[in-house]
Every structure is written in C-alpha cells, then in structure tokens.
C-alpha cells in the first residue's frame, strides 16, 4: 500500500460517511476550534456537546473568556474532569488577548507554546483554521495507526509515540490536509472504536493488519499496570440550615482550584478541628456511607462526616465559603462532591 492510497481512502470515505455537522466544524474561527480541541481531550463528543454550548453562550468571544474570573470558568467546567484543562484554557485566553491582540497565532509552533496546547492540538488548529499541512495524533488516530499498520507497544510509550509521529508525517497528503485530519478522527470515533470496531464498513479494512490477523482487540496495546493504589480521605459536610461550607482547593493537585468539602486531617477530632480551624460550633457528628471515586492513577475512598453547625463567624477565613445547596449547579465542584451534596437534598 502506498502512503497516498491510505490518505485517498480516508478522504473518499469521509466525504460520504464522516461527521459534518458538529458545532465546531465548518468554521475557521480559531477560538471555537481551540475550545473544542481542549474539551475533546480524553472526552467523548457526546459529553462535550452541552459543555461547548454553555461555554459559548457565556463566553461568546475569546476576550469574554479571558476577562472572566477563573472561578466562573471552573464552575462551567465542573463535571467535565481533568480540571487542569480549564485552568490552562483560561490562562491561554489571557495570553492570546494580552500578547496577540486576541487573535491566535497562525504558526503551529507558536500555538504549541501557549498554555495547555500540545503538538497535536496545535497542528489541528493550524490545519483547520490556517490551511497548514500538519499531522495530528490524538487517541483516535493512534488507534487507527496501530491497528492498520500492526504497530506493537503501548502508544503512550515515548519510543512508540515517536514511531507514530513519524508515520503521521509520512502519511500526510499534499492537499486536503484538513479533510484528511478530520477523517482520521472520525474513523476512530465511529468505526475503529476501542471495542466492537466495525471492520466490515471500514475503508481501510482491506489493508488493515489487525483485521487480517484478528488482533483488533489486542491493538493498540494497553499500558501494563498493577492494581490501582487506594487512598482514603475524610471530608466534612458542615451544614447550617440549607447552606454548606466549602473550601477552595490549592491550584495544583486533584480538583485543583475547585471548591470542595473541608478535609479532616488523619487522627484529628472532627469537633476540635471544626472549632479551631474553621471557627464553627457543631451539634454532633454523623457518619455517612463511604463513596469511592476512581482517578487515572488511584482510587479514592471518601468518608463523609455530616456536622450540624449551630454557630459560625460572619467573616470566614480566606478560601472558605458558604453556599446554598440549591445552587450546586452553578458552583465549581468535583463530580463526586456534587453527588454527595445533591444526596443531602
């Protein structure tokens, strides 16, 4: 198979079977394309669609996003996960407004230097918005390549990824780079899926190594990992009537920059900690069922303690905020914390 045959098959297939009506398609507006690219990192289209619409409704322009408080950006992102993306999104908008007059640079290397934009994302923006000829390598494309060409090893491994990038550069057609790049993503999202790939409908089926050797399930190789580490945390649900006390988490680490429940240090007494650290008086402590939340690298066991607050100071320490339970949808909360608080009703 020639390199040109690979791209021709994909471009021809995409014209008839590719996705053409997603809200960030049929535009060269770098703001909208960039926003979709960041949201789609490790996240499926169906999940992204409502977030994308809400973001554009609240921030119709890049300047609107850049001048908004980061807390509001985090609140709109709440539930989408991988929250560093939201912090980088806000930081990137501010850089583009302050250093580029609100217009994204057209060069892929300059795009790559912006916060939160890696090589594949930069190349996507350059291709779709500025007519560049630049290869992409997101999760869908990696899956298509490893199956079609029978590439061994975990795609996240540095050596394998280098091999994939070399292949991506070699396969780039001289023309219609934007259609070709979109075709690769669409093929991986709709036919060459992680499970139950539709090989009979694939334009690459005749030349696919994985199909010929019946290795669709095996390829791409998954990362070898042991059992996920287990961590435990005790969180305080400090409630006063229909209000709950929330604490802003540090900007880095899990749930960085989001509001969450105050964390009880190990071996500490809830009554003493609440009185000394949070300056609140409580009437008893009630244990709630443990919740489990799985991150990429560990599994977190959350033990909630419900505390009925009888008195608290008017002015709380910086980082502590009282919020109505009825306003949870408008607060930047991690998904498991929102679930816990929603259950309180």
Q: How far apart are the first and last CA of the chain?
A: 61
Question: Per residue in 298-326, pLDDT tens?
Answer: 999 999 999 999 999 888 888 999 999 99
Number of independent structural domains in the chain: 2
Residue 3 has pLDDT above 70, yes or no: no
Q: Count CA atoms within 13 Å of residue 86 on its CB side.
A: 28
> Quick one: 91 and 23 in the same domain?
yes
Residues 77, 123, single domain; the answer is: yes
> What element of type H or E holds 321?
strand 320-324
Beta bridge partners of 88: none
Same structural domain for residues 333 and 195?
no
- Residue 344 is predicted with a pLDDT of 81
- Residue 234 — left, alpha, or beta (φ > 0 → left; ψ -120 to 50 → alpha)? beta
Same domain, 156 and 295: no
Last residue of one domain, picked from the residues 166, 184, 212 = 212
Does the reported pTM lie above 0.95? no
User: Domain containing 90 — which CATH number?
Assistant: 1.10.340.30
Are 17 and 139 in a shared domain?
yes
The DSSP bridge partners found for residue 281 are: 311
Active site residue 57: no
> What is the reported pLDDT for 2?
59
Mean pLDDT to the nearest integer, 321-339: 91
Mean pLDDT over each residue of the chain, to the nearest integer: 94
Read off the pLDDT of residues 105-139 as tens digits, 9 standing for 90 and up: 999 999 999 999 999 999 999 999 999 999 999 99
pLDDT tens-place string over residues 220-240:
999 887 788 999 999 999 999
Please say whether the beta carbons of 229 and 298 come within 8 A. yes
246 and 188 within one domain: no
Give domain status of residue 98, yes or no: yes
Domain of 259?
Answer: 230-344
What lies within 8 Å, CB to CB, of 162 at 6+ separation is none
Query: Active-site residue among 37, 109, 170, 232?
Result: 37
* The two three-digit tokens of residue 125, written as one number: 């923006």
């Amino acid at each position: 198979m020639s390199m040109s045959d690979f791209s021709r098959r994909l471009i021809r297939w995409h014209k008839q079977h590719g996705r053409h009506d997603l809200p960030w398609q049929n535009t060269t507006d770098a703001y909208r394309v960039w926003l979709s690219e960041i949201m789609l990192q490790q996240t499926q289209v169906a999940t992204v669609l409502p977030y994308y619409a809400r973001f554009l409704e609240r921030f119709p322009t890049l300047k609107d996003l850049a001048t908004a408080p980061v807390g509001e950006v985090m609140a709109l992102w709440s539930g989408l996960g991988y929250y560093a993306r939201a912090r980088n999104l806000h930081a990137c908008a501010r850089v583009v407004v302050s250093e580029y007059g609100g217009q994204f640079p057209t060069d892929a290397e300059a795009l790559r230097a912006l916060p939160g934009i890696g090589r594949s994302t930069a190349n996507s923006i350059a291709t779709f918005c500025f007519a560049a000829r630049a290869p992409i390598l997101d999760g869908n494309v990696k899956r298509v390549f490893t199956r079609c060409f029978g590439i061994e090893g975990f795609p996240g491994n540095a050596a394998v990824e280098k091999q994939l990038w070399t292949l991506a550069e070699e396969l780039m057609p001289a023309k219609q780079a934007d259609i070709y790049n979109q075709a690769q993503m669409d093929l991986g999202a709709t036919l060459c899926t992680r499970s139950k790939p539709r090989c009979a409908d694939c334009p690459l089926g005749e030349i696919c190594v994985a199909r010929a050797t019946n290795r669709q399930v095996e390829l791409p190789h998954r990362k070898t990992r042991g059992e996920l580490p287990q961590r435990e945390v005790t969180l305080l649900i400090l409630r006063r009537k229909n209000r709950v006390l929330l604490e802003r988490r540090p900007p880095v680490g899990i749930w960085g920059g989001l509001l969450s429940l105050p964390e009880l240090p190990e071996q500490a007494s809830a009554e003493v900690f609440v009185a000394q650290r949070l300056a609140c008086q409580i009437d008893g402590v009630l244990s709630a069922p443990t919740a489990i939340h799985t991150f990429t690298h560990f599994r977190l066991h959350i033990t909630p303690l419900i505390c009925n607050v009888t008195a608290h100071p008017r002015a709380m320490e910086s980082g502590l905020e009282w919020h109505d339970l009825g306003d949870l949808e408008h607060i930047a909360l991690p998904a498991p914390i929102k679930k816990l608080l929603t259950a309180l009703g």
